[in-house]
Amino acid sequence: MTGRTTLMKTAIYPGTFDPIHNGHIDLVERAAQLFDKVVVAVADNKKKKPLFDLEERIDICRQSLAKLDNIEVCGFNHLIIDFAKSKDSHIVLRGLRTTADFEYELQMANMNRSMSSNFETVFLTPNESLSSISSSLVREIAAMGGDVEQFVSPSVFKPLMAKFSK
């Protein structure tokens, strides 16, 4: 490709990650093969009343993704387009499990692009066996004493069970 400069492509994967689960991890692993760098942006969204505080979620994400060398995990609490710019990126990565996810995510992608014309959203679907997992279902099952070990990494399982053993 003569005359073209290769740019480092960084994708931002935002979410609450309360907690990060195997579906999230699958998506990050695949994104790490598509992009030079993936920033897992843990949202500090007080409206969602997370089970884990921001620092706990960041730490659990870092532990769960430790085997990947082109991943950065950090918190954020402002517009994703502004956060992406601060990381020299214009790409946000979103996972789609259902058609309901698609409708919401399409609306967000269009809104972000209307605020920043070069902002792009890339959609990935999880592995079929992981498409039914959600953080809210993992929390609900764990809260009722169910076994969530198959849905989360060991670095999530232990602190999650500790939250509900109190």
What is the identity of the amino acid at 71?
Answer: I
Q: Is 21 tagged catalytic?
A: no
Q: Is 136 tagged catalytic?
A: no
* Strand order, beta sheet including 10-15: 71-76, 37-43, 10-15, 91-95, 120-124
- Please pick, among 9, 48, 78, 158, the residue that the annotation labels catalytic: 48
- Alpha-carbon torsion, ordered 137, 143, 144, 145, to 10 deg: 110
Cα separation, 134 vs 137, whole angstroms: 5
Q: Is 97 tagged catalytic?
A: yes
- Please pick, among 97, 113, 131, 163, the residue that the annotation labels catalytic: 97
- In 3D space, the residue among 45, 119, 37 whose CA is nearest the CA of residue 81 turns out to be 119
Q: Is 158 tagged catalytic?
A: no
- Please pick, among 89, 135, 153, 155, the residue that the annotation labels catalytic: 135
Residues annotated as catalytic are 24, 48, 97, 135
